[in-house]
Amino acid sequence: MSVKSRLYAAALTSCLLAGPAFAQSVNLYTTREPALLNPVIEAFTKDTGIKVNAVFLKDGLQERIKAEGANSPADVMLLVDVGQINEAADAGITQPIQSALVDKTVPAALRGPGNNWVTLTQRARIVVASKDRVQQDAITYEELADPTWKGKFCIRAGQHPYNNAFFAAYLARNGAEKTEAYLKALKANTARKPGGGDREVARDILSGQCDIAVINTYYIGLMSQAKNEQKGWYDAIKPLKSSFAGGGTHVNVSAAAIAKNAPNKENAVKLVEYMLGEKAQHLYADGNFEYPVNADVKEAASVKLLGALTPDTTPLGDVAKNRKAASELVDKVGFDN
């Protein structure tokens, strides 16, 4: 963290500690966008009487909590990538979440080792295809490497965190040798150099540059509501039921952890439990077309648009541990060249 960032962080912490006193409060540090999270925060305070002091950070969250040390006011961390939340646990700045509700609601594969973090919402990385040129409605991720798709496959950069997590999941399931061969085959099938964003692959399907691509599900939802050219991109694609062979759909997550030195631990647990409830799951997941982790939430916007989700059972902690090795394999095969 730069000197300027540390000074800014210190100033914010002082303001947080010196702010108005509430009978009940909880301090939340998050990299989530305020517009997506504020409706849940407001509902939590209204329903429980517990004030949420939210600190929104674009980056440097872990560094800040480490710098604050034992005197950190952070109670809950909310991050938007399994790698980030697992790094926080590995850095020793989290503690186990002890909650029967969490254990009941969230499958073990979607919780961190030792319950040091817990998934709140999921976003699936699936395959989309041209409505006009592709007949099938389901596919395995392994099939993307089939020569059938040579010159027809589009994907953003292999080193992008979305694809890094996807390749790390493949690595966790199949080992390094098979993953290296898979990456080589994917590269051989690309219609263009990997790059751009997830929405751009839909654009390229519309233009005919590619027939099939990989995308995060929430981008499909956002394009479906677009009032510009992206609505045309959405109309050109169809989601395929996507899974690993013999497994489920690869997901990444937004996840919460309780800070190691949380001064309001009881309220921290209450906030995490609240965010797993049906009301909060709707507010939080629907705001960005993400999938609720609570199986009792049946009418989420993502489910209505794309159908139900069956997440792969590979523990996300294993996915996180394989991210560095997956990145090295991407470089080894020259995937992004």
Q: Distance (Å, rounded) from C-alpha 13 to C-alpha 190?
A: 48
Per DSSP, the three-state class of 94 is strand
Q: Is 59 inside any structural domain? A: yes
pLDDT for 9 equals 46
- Low-confidence spans in the chain with pLDDT less than 70: 1-23
One domain, residues 202 and 174:
yes
Q: Is 69 inside any structural domain? A: yes
Output the CA torsion 55→61→64→65 (10° steps).
Answer: 90
Burial 137-150 (b: 16+ CB within 10 A, else e): eebbbbbbbeeebe
pLDDT for 20 equals 47
One domain, residues 45 and 110:
yes
Number of folded domains that form the chain: 2
Q: Is 43 inside any structural domain? A: yes
pLDDT for 22 equals 53
Nearest to 104 by CA among 304, 242, 277: 277
pLDDT for 14 equals 47
Task: Please name the residues in contact with 33: beta carbons below 8 A apart, sequence gap of 6 or more.
Answer: 56
Q: Is 315 inside any structural domain? A: no
One domain, residues 233 and 129:
yes
One domain, residues 184 and 89:
no
Decide: 78 and 30 in contact? Cβ < 8 Å: yes
The backbone torsions φ and ψ at residue 314, rounded to the nearest 5 degrees and listed phi first, read -60, 125
One domain, residues 164 and 238:
yes
Within 13 Å and on the Cβ side, how many CA atoms surround 28? 30
Q: Is 305 inside any structural domain? A: no
Q: Is 232 inside any structural domain? A: yes
Nearest to 309 by CA among 251, 222, 224: 251
Per DSSP, the three-state class of 91 is coil
pTM reported for the whole predicted model:
0.86
One domain, residues 218 and 283:
no
One domain, residues 127 and 243:
yes
- Tell me which residue range forms the domain holding 245: 123-249+320-332
- pLDDT tens profile 212-247: 999 999 999 999 999 999 999 999 999 999 999 999
What would the two tokens of residue 228 be?
Answer: 């510009």
Q: Is 307 inside any structural domain? A: no
One domain, residues 208 and 169:
yes
**Pairing state of beta strands 76-79 and 251-259?**
antiparallel
Task: For 75-193, list the strands marked E by DSSP.
Answer: 76-79, 94-95, 118-130, 138-140, 153-154
pLDDT for 12 equals 47
Please state, as a whole number, how many other Cβ atoms lie within 10 Å of the Cβ of residue 60: 17
Please state, as a whole number, how many other Cβ atoms lie within 10 Å of the Cβ of residue 238: 16
One domain, residues 63 and 84:
yes
CATH of the domain at 284: 3.40.190.10
Please state, as a whole number, how many other Cβ atoms lie within 10 Å of the Cβ of residue 280: 23
One domain, residues 179 and 328:
yes
pLDDT for 19 equals 45
- pLDDT tens profile 59-74: 899 999 999 999 999 9
One domain, residues 95 and 205:
no
Burial 170-209 (b: 16+ CB within 10 A, else e): bbbbbeeeebbebbbbbbebbbeebebebbbbbbbbbeee
One domain, residues 67 and 173:
no
Q: Is 314 inside any structural domain? A: no
